């Protein structure tokens, strides 16, 4: 598996949160968070439901502007407009159009998400092969099972190289073989100098810093 990934290592990249405070509706979910991730480092976010894991990831990807503080992405020594422009975001839904085939979907995201200077990643068919679902390439995504859809979503991470991966519950819907594939993918990405922020309930088989979210208990 590792030998299939022949991409050049990523240039110096950092993902920095400083004093990051995020609000969702009326609720303050993250307050004053600081961290600094560099090449090859991963951060795993854990915590009970409703403590703001998804909110934090959406904040890091730039979908949710911080109430205070900021998120910075530094790429090859240059400050990007936000970390989102350097990142692959994988949320609860994969961003595939049901009417289009897996290959068509991946081709579209390849042209949409390619970062200049990082070359092209795998072709859609290669990426699907690597994720163990080469047979779905020509099928409309609407016909696929949840696990297959998830694998098509993960294939997106391989077709357009981006240094930061922001993954929200990446293990969802994956079987044991799929989870092994994902863990191998994550390790390859880190080995190539990539950065990972993942929110998860189930453990991921990578060396990572841990961030646990939760309400501070104050006696009533």
Partner 1 sequence: MTPAPLSALFLREIRAARRIGGGGTMGVVFFLILVTIVPFAIGPDLNLLSRIGPAILWIAALLATLLGLDRLFQADHEDGSLDLMLTGDTPLELIVLVKCLAHWTVTGLPLVVAAPLFGLMLALEPEALFGVTISLLAGTPALGMLGAIGAALTVTLRRGGLLMAILVLPLAIPVLIFGVSAAGAANSATTPFMTPFLILCALSLATLAAAPFAVAAALRHMSE
Partner 2 sequence: MLKYANPTFFLGLAGRLLPWLAGATALTLAIGMWGAFFYAPADYQQGQTVRIMYIHVPSAWLAMFCYATMAASALGTLVWRHPLADAAQKAAAPIGAVFTFVCLVTGSLWGKPMWGTWWVWDARLTSVLVLFVIYLGLIALWQTIEDSSRAARAAAILTLVGVINLPIIKFSVDWWNTLHQPASVFRMDGPTIAPSMLWPLLVMGIAFTLLFTTLHVMSTRNEILRRRLRRLAIQAAAGEAQARPAHRLSTSESAP
The residues binding partner 2 (CB under 8 A) are: 25-31, 33-35, 41, 47, 50-52, 203-216, 218-220
- Are 90 and 157 contacting, i.e. CB atoms less than 8 angstroms apart? yes
Both tokens of residue 137?
A: 């390439």
Nearest distance from C-beta of residue 203 to partner 1, angstroms: 25
Q: Which residues of 40-54 are buried (b: 16+ CB within 10 A; e: fewer)?
A: bbbbbbbbeeebbbb
Distance CA 142, CA 185 (A): 25
Residues numbered 46 to 65 that lie near partner 1 (CB under 8 A) are: 58, 61-65
Bridge partners of 87? 164
Shortest approach of partner 2 to residue 220 CB, angstroms?
4
3-state secondary structure of 147: helix
With binding defined as CB under 8 A, does residue 158 bind partner 1? no
β-pair partners for 78: 75
Largest CA distance in the chain: 58
Closer residue to partner 2, CB minimum distance, 141 or 211? 211
**Could you tell me the smallest distance in angstroms from the CB atom of residue 148 to partner 2?**
26
**For residues 109 and 187, which CB has a smaller minimum distance to partner 1 in the complex?**
109
Binding mask 63-102 for partner 1 (x = CB under 8 A): xxx------------------xx-xxx-xxxxxxxxxx--
Nearer to partner 2, 47 or 132 (CB): 47
**In the complex, minimum distance from the CB of residue 137 to partner 1, in angstroms, rounded to a whole number:** 16
Q: Which residues contact 151 (CB under 8 A, 6 or more apart)?
A: 128, 131, 132, 133, 136, 174, 178, 181
- Ramachandran class of 52: left when φ > 0, alpha when ψ lies in -120 to 50, beta otherwise: left
Binding partner selected for residue 54 from partner 2, partner 1, none, CB under the kind-specific 5 to 8 Å limit: none
Task: Choose which of 107, 123, 172, 173 interacts with partner 1 (CB under 8 A).
Answer: 107
Residue 113 in contact with partner 1, rule: CB under 8 A: yes
Residues that bind partner 1 (CB under 8 A): 58, 61-65, 84-85, 87-89, 91-100, 104, 107-109, 111-113, 115-116, 140
């Amino acid at each position: 598996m590792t030998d299939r990934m022949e991409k050049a290592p990523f240039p110096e990249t950092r993902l920095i949160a400083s004093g990051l405070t995020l609000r969702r509706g009326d609720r303050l979910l993250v307050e004053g968070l600081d961290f600094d991730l560099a090449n090859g480092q991963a951060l795993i976010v854990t915590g009970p439901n409703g403590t703001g894991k998804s909110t934090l990831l959406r904040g890091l990807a730039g979908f949710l502007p911080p109430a205070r503080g900021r998120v910075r992405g530094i790429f090859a020594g240059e400050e990007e407009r936000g970390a989102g422009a350097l990142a692959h975001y994988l949320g609860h839904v994969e961003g595939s159009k049901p009417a289009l085939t897996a290959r068509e979907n991946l081709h579209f995201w390849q042209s949409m998400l390619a970062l200049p200077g990082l070359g092209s990643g795998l072709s859609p068919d290669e990426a699907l092969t690597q994720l163990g679902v080469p047979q779905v390439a020509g099928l409309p995504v609407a016909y696929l099972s949840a696990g297959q859809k998830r694998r098509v979503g993960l294939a997106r991470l391989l077709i357009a190289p981006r240094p930061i991966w922001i993954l929200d519950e990446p293990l969802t819907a994956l079987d044991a073989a799929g989870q092994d594939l994902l863990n191998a993918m994550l390790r390859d990405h880190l080995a190539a100098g990539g950065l990972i922020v993942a929110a998860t309930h189930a453990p991921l088989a990578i060396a990572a810093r841990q961030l646990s979210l939760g309400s501070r208990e104050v006696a009533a």
